[in-house]
Structure 1
Amino acid sequence: MNHDTPLSPRPLSHLAEAHHRVLTTAQLRAHGVSAAETSAQCRPGGPWQQFLPGVYLLHPGPPTGEERLRAVLAYATRGPVPRRRDGVPAQPTAREPHRPARAEVMITGLAALALHGFAAAPALLALDVIDVLVPRLRRLRSTGCARIVKAAEPPAPETAGGVPVAPVPRALADAVAQLSDAFAVQRLLTEAVRDGHCEPAAVVRALTGARLLTRPHVVDAVDSLLAEGRSVAEDRLYRMVAEHGLPDPVWNVDLRLPGGPHLGGLDAYWPDHAVALELDTRAPLPGRPGDETLGVEYTRKREHLERLGITVVHLTPRKLRDAMDQQATVVRTALMAAADRDPAAYVVVLPR
């Protein structure tokens, strides 16, 4: 007897009691259900239905949102049995009929965003299709409510709603690829940053990789996204200073040498300590004039300030979001070290 041999026949009623009533042909066979029995159960008026090729819904009514997700994943994971390095089959068995057979298969697009908790994403049952991300070499076609999205190197999946889903940046890119409504795109991108799902730079990288920044309505939405990202980061910076008892800086200023050139703008500056703080919210858009020089200009400004004896603290929105306590310690350390440094050059501080 090998792993393909069906189990001894059992009453089919036990299957309807399964926690998830979505099974593939292979899983039914593992339960001892032959192809003929499956066909008989799916006859008009029967208790089962074929929902997708090789995927069956073990009740006659419409599927729930969860059943649609699991059916799409089951369809995308069909195929030759993958094996672990020790040769043991890794495909779901009768005991674990709902364990994904391939870790690189995951829900993406609007369905994934709904599972991530996006208010701007439609409810699962309102979606006509569910996007599922698979490796590019898989021989699968979109059918029914399953839309196949292929990737040369799928990202590591996350888990939401009990199923594998694409990380937010990839899910956003796959969703935006299907949307022509500029307002819908802007709402999704803005929510991603405003609610802390991801940083603007990660979104821009994903959209760039999907070659979506040639679409004017996507570029406009990204401009709004970057503005939203800076606003969110500034709010976190104000909160960090207040909640961690740091001295109040002067906010959003320009520095100049007396009678000399402009040194650059800063998000915060402590004149008595000669400590400057800058949020790095850069997310250059490919092809936009001047964007390729942002990094060079930033580095030049930082080096110039440090030659004048001004300590520059560099923070990113992600650091503020994920490790605010640590970043407050970095700023406090720079302020305390001011007493041990040589006096900085005199600079003029102007509102920005």
Structure 2
Amino acid sequence: MNHNTPVSPRPLSHLTDATTRVLTAAQLRAHGVAAADLTAACRPGGPWQQILPGVFLLHPGPPTSEERLHAVLLYAGRPPGEKVTLPQQSADSAAAASLPPNRRPAVDAAAAAAPEIPAAYGDAMITGLAALTLHRFSSAPPLLALERIDVLVPRTRRLRSTGPAHLVRSHALPRPQLVTGVPVAPVPRALADAVAQLADASAVRRLLTEAVRGGHCEPAAIVKELNQARLLTRPHVVDAVDSLLAEGRAIAEDRLYRLVSEHGLPDPLWNVDLRLPGGPHIGGVDAYWPDQAVALELDTRAPRQDEDALWSEYARKREHLERLGITVVHITPKKLRDAMDQQAQVVRTALMASSDRDPAAYVVVLPR
């Protein structure tokens, strides 16, 4: 034995799942596979194959969709020279698991419950259409139908797109979500990366509509990502966004109707304009309780280039109403979706507190 011979090479017979049927050259070396043996195994007719530069598939057939995902993450995830992590339980973890329960080291409950992204993936994550498929979008194609898989990486990563791996670079990476053991970009970011490569207006519209109807996210979050990606200059994207905002508005209004009926709140006047008698127009509100002088507004603003001007208009109207003694309740579609009970209590509190306030100024209420 010389100094180049691996000590106690690790057998590969235990490599049975997708994360271990796809390994990097560095991981194989750590398992005791010599470079010459790796080259021989990947020759035509051999048992292994190279699927991406430095990434190997440990069987001769075509890769499964799961194996392709792990391959592109391994290719994009680890900068050269990073410490190798073997795809198996660490010795310390295995030793701890072998101890009796009363002698095992304490583990923080939150840390234990949090999903752990494999270290070999680094900060890479699946995005684009592949991510939407993993998020269970019915309008996204199956993974095996995708020739390329988008993988989000830092802008400083020195790699090129090749084979099934299409690198999408970003100055700021979102926090990934773990889906079936794979780090995946959140839906708004995955949508933006998918739309950036789609010229089909109907496909863009289907994806954006499903995101809202399926409850994956709110329109404002999608428009924010599209705006940051500078996609709102494309006519087919703008048209789809206009439909998306109308769809999101309708869904939010339906939730607001449910909030009032299901929580036993008094019926308001819906979608009305407020004016001073013989005076100027104050503005429209989504619901108004004239006896209690409480107005409710749904904030369905989308963060576009004119956001500052739109927010100034919102703020001006709110200040005007409050100067007249009218309480303004401000609710976002996200809060309606995620915390309807809490928002109902906010409205109820505002209605009950009206008896403790000075009478509000008289306003004219007109249909909007």
How high is the TM-score relative to the length of structure 2? Answer: 0.87
* 1:95 maps onto 2:111 in alignment: no
* 1:235 maps onto 2:254 in alignment: yes
Counterpart in the other structure of 1:329: 345
**Range moving further from structure 2, 52-61 or 253-262:** 253-262
Conservation of the 8 A alpha-carbon contact between 2:201 and 2:236: yes
Shift of 1:285: 2.7
Conservation of the 8 A alpha-carbon contact between 1:20 and 1:67: no
Conservation of the 8 A alpha-carbon contact between 2:218 and 2:334: yes
Q: Distance in 2 between matches of 1:12 and 1:340?
A: 75
* 1:280 maps onto 2:317 in alignment: no
Q: Distance in 1 between matches of 2:296 and 2:263?
A: 16
Shift of 1:180: 0.5
* 1:205 maps onto 2:224 in alignment: yes
* Aligned pairs (5 A) from 1:29-178: 29-82=29-82, 89=83, 91-95=84-88, 99-178=118-197
- In the alignment of these two chains, the number of paired residues is 339
Counterpart in the other structure of 1:86: none
Q: Distance in 1 between matches of 2:323 and 2:17?
A: 73
Q: Deviations over 1:17-72 (max 9, x none)?
A: 77641111111111111111112111212221111111111111111111110011
**Range moving further from structure 2, 119-128 or 18-27:** 18-27
Shift of 1:225: 1.2
Q: Which amino acid aligns with 1:101?
A: A
- Select which of 245, 262, 284 maps to 2:281: 262
Q: Which amino acid aligns with 1:222?
A: V
Conservation of the 8 A alpha-carbon contact between 2:9 and 2:33: yes
Counterpart in the other structure of 2:357: 341
Shift of 1:80: 2.9
Q: Deviations over 1:52-109 (max 9, x none)?
A: 1111111111111111100110111243344xxxxxx4x4225359923354210011
Counterpart in the other structure of 1:316: 332
Q: From the superposition, tell whether residues 94 and 19 of structure 1 become closer, same or farther in structure 2 (CA, over 3 Å).
A: closer
* 1:305 maps onto 2:324 in alignment: no
Q: Distance in 2 between matches of 1:5 and 1:237?
A: 70
* Aligned pairs (5 A) from 1:22-33: 22-33=22-33
Shift of 1:234: 0.9
Q: Distance in 2 between matches of 1:227 and 1:18?
A: 42
Shift of 1:324: 1.3
Counterpart in the other structure of 2:239: 220
Q: Which amino acid aligns with 2:144?
A: L
Counterpart in the other structure of 2:367: 351
SS of the residue 1:164 aligns to:
strand
Q: Which amino acid aligns with 1:99?
A: P
Shift of 1:115: 0.8
**Range moving further from structure 2, 114-123 or 328-337:** 114-123
SS of the residue 1:281 aligns to:
coil
Shift of 1:268: 0.6
Shift of 1:264: 1.0
Conservation of the 8 A alpha-carbon contact between 1:109 and 1:131: yes
Please list every run of 5 or more consecutive structure 2 residues that lacks an aligned counterpart in the other structure. Answer: 91-116
Shift of 1:281: 0.5
Shift of 1:292: 4.4
Q: Distance in 1 between matches of 2:87 and 2:299?
A: 52
Q: Distance in 2 between matches of 1:18 and 1:213?
A: 39
Conservation of the 8 A alpha-carbon contact between 1:173 and 1:207: yes
Shift of 1:284: 4.3
* 1:246 maps onto 2:265 in alignment: yes
**Range moving further from structure 2, 96-105 or 266-275:** 96-105
Q: Which amino acid aligns with 2:30?
A: A
Q: Distance in 2 between matches of 1:335 and 1:182?
A: 45
Q: Distance in 2 between matches of 1:177 and 1:342?
A: 54
How high is the TM-score relative to the length of structure 1? Answer: 0.91
Shift of 1:266: 0.9
The alignment's C-alpha RMSD in Å is 2.0
- The percentage of counterpart residues that share the same residue type is 74
Q: Distance in 2 between matches of 1:163 and 1:146?
A: 15
Q: From the superposition, tell whether residues 168 and 239 of structure 1 become closer, same or farther in structure 2 (CA, over 3 Å).
A: same
Q: Deviations over 1:155-205 (max 9, x none)?
A: 111111210011111111111111000111111112112222122221112
Q: Distance in 2 between matches of 1:236 and 1:63?
A: 45
Q: Distance in 2 between matches of 1:310 and 1:34?
A: 77
**Range moving further from structure 2, 177-186 or 189-198:** 189-198
SS of the residue 2:286 aligns to:
strand
